[in-house]
Structure 1
Amino acid sequence: MAKMRGEAEVVLLDSEGRKESEKEGVILLIWVDDLLIAANNNGSLSDVKEMLKRKFKMKDLGELKHFLGIDFTQSQGEIKMSQKRHIAKMLERFGMSECKPRSTPCEQKLHFDTEGEVIDSTGYREIVGSLIYIMTCTRPDLSWIVSKLSQHLAEPKQQHWAAAKQLLRYLKGTIDQELHYKKSEESLKLEGYSDADWAADQNDRRSTTGYCFSLTENGPVISWKSRKQPTVALSTCEAEYMALAATTQESMYLVQLLKGVDRNSPHVPVKIYEDNQGAIALSKNPVSRQRSKHVDIKYILYDLHMLRGRYLLHIVLLQIW
């Protein structure tokens, strides 16, 4: 059994309700009173359905098409995920169904200052809360701006409200975007990308951590996050190092989850891409130096897993035009 975020659980059973064998298995995802059932053959799927019907009062809704505000389109060897209907309802709720669409989620080099009159936070919190759910489920392209907007829930100002409205216009123009997962002929290997924006916030000079993961080299992402770092980094190396620690922490969770779902694949070592030479050198040789001895001890977690050979750190080569 492997825990998922929220109230969901992934349970692996065979067709008789016992633990999964190596040859065949059924995955149950449970969210309160809703269940998703996945199997590698129709026979096992039917057997598990009948077993559950004998023990519980339940209704079979057929092939998965809609779940928790997410639309699913299934075909041979591929699954598409989107939230088109959910976004359309949200735009109508906030009076933006007929708004002019935008091609970008926010302005370039967006900066929120501390000036301006505080507005009513109720409507702003409703919009940001809805955006957080969409970003978490199917829209990794919203991660950075939604993270910025969520930092001002207590005392939002007109500039924050304007940025939130622009994001709704962006959703209007990109409502048909979806995550597209295809069956891979190659073995799945977890790959991650880590980055940091040093001293990005001009008000408190804290940096921003960003990472994403996929299971194939050119495949869609399965996990993503953009988050403000809890402490002030004194250098780009330190900011990137803290981002690597967060990326490693997420990869540990994903490896545990993947091992529960697919026990035949090792899923290690995890390949993580990083573009900062200083952070790479510090992670491979975490000795105490004048410029790094102040780094919080919790980030040594990353070094321990590096030394155990569970992660391969790669340098990302950037070409500047």
Structure 2
Amino acid sequence: MLEAYGLRDAEPAALPMTPGSVLTPSDGKGSNLPYRALLGQLHWVAGCTRPDIVAAGSAFSRFYTTYGAEHFVALKQVVRYLKGTLQYELMQRCVFLSTTEVEIIAMSEGAREVKYILNVLDGLVYNTQSGAHVPTELGMQERTEIMVSDERHHVTDKAV
């Protein structure tokens, strides 16, 4: 595909489409360009192995009959993006055979995350003893009423 469209030595693109670019229908002066052929090839690639270019393919499909030279140049950016991302591979580590298996593995991963977070929290040093004794010790009551006079902060006092 790179050689067919003269992009063998082209600079790879970081994104399949330029952010913020707005394409408008053309008057059809680019009808001699192989826009439809390239678009069809990109749809095939997107359907088989590259779902990351589906949105770009969909955007360019809007101009299937009203394309121009600017559309063809923008479409070739998708090819340049593919050139720059040839090394991309699937990220899944294994193929699951059932939804039950997926749910079990997801629960296991979630439990591992919770265990990690609990280990991190255990490592934090905190002391709640002074706050726990305030509502129960009578000698502290007068001073704490001055420190926290708002009624909504006395929920623990009523709960004890």
Same fold (TM over 0.5): yes
1:99 aligns with one of 4, 7, 10? 10
Letter in 1 for 2:58: S
- 1:216 and 1:126 map into 2 onto residues whose CA distance is 42
The TM-score, its normalising length taken from structure 1, stands at 0.29
8 Å contact from structure 1 (residues 121, 156) kept in 2: no
Aligned residue for 1:173? 84
1:133 aligns with one of 44, 60, 66? 44
Post-superposition CA distance 1:17-58 (Å, at most 9, x none): xxxxxxxxxxxxxxxxxxxxxxxxxxxxxxxxxxxxxxxxxx
> How far does residue 118 in structure 1 lie from its aligned partner after superposition?
2.3
Does the residue aligned with 1:110 lie in a helix, a strand or coil? coil
1:161 aligns with one of 72, 75, 85? 72
> Identity rate of aligned residues, in percent?
28
8 Å contact from structure 1 (residues 128, 164) kept in 2: yes
Aligned residue for 2:63? 152
Letter in 1 for 2:48: C
Letter in 2 for 1:111: V
Return the structure number with greater strand share: 1
> How far does residue 101 in structure 1 lie from its aligned partner after superposition?
0.7
Aligned residue for 1:113? 24
Q: How does 1:188-199 map to 2 (within 5 A)?
A: 188=102
- 1:119 and 1:184 map into 2 onto residues whose CA distance is 45
The TM-score, its normalising length taken from structure 2, stands at 0.55
Query: Which of 1 and 2 has greater Rg?
Result: 2
Aligned residue for 1:182? 93
Post-superposition CA distance 1:259-278 (Å, at most 9, x none): xxxxxxxxxxxxxxxxxxxx
Post-superposition CA distance 1:209-260 (Å, at most 9, x none): xxxxxx969xxxxxxxxxxxxxxxxxxxxxxxxxxxxxxxxxxxxxxxxxxx
Which is bigger in relative contact order (C-alpha 8 A, separation at least 6)? Answer: 2
Gaps of 5+ in 1: 1-89, 190-214, 218-321
Return the structure number with greater helix share: 2
- Cα distance 1:136–1:184, how it changes in 2: closer, same or farther (>3 A)? closer
Gaps of 5+ in 2: 108-160
